[in-house]
Structure 1
Amino acid sequence: MHVLGLSCFYHDSAAALLRDGVLVAAAEEERFTRRKHDNGFPSRAVAYCLREAGIDIEAVDHIVFYEKPLPKFGRIIETVIGEWPRSFPVWIEGVPQWLVTKLDHRSLIQRALGTRKPVLFSSHHLSHAASAFLASPFEDAAILTTDGVGEWTTTAWGVGRGTGIEMRQEIRFPHSIGLLFSALTAYLGFRVNDAEWKVMGLAPYGRPRYVDQFRQLVDLRPDGSFRLDLRYFAYCYSSRRMFTRRWERLFGQPPRRPEAELGEFHADLAHSGQKVVEEILLAIARHLRATTGLPNLCVAGGVGLNSVANWRMLREAGFDRIFIQPAAGDSGGALGAALYV
Structure 2
Amino acid sequence: MFLYVLAVVALLWLYRWYRETKRVPNKSDKYVYITGCDSGFGNLLAKHLDKLGFCVIASCFTEKGEVELKKVSSERLSTVHLDVTKSDSIKRAAEFIKTKVGQKGLWSVVNNAGVSVPSGPCDWLTIDDYRQMLDVNLMGVIEVTMSVLPLIKKARGRVVNVASVFGRISPFGGPYSISKYGVEAFNDSLRRTMLPFGVKVLCIEPGFFKTSVTDIDLLKNCVDKLWEKIPQETKDEYGIDYRHKVSVLMKEKFSHLPDSDLMKVVSCMEHAIAAVHPRTRYSPGWDAKFFWLPLSYMPTVISDYLLTKDNVKPAKAVQ
Normalized per residue, which structure has more strand? 1
Shared fold (TM-score greater than 0.5)? no
Normalized per residue, which structure has more helix? 2
TM-score scaled by structure 2? 0.30
TM-score scaled by structure 1? 0.29
Higher relative CO (CA 8 A, sep ≥ 6), structure 1 or 2? 1
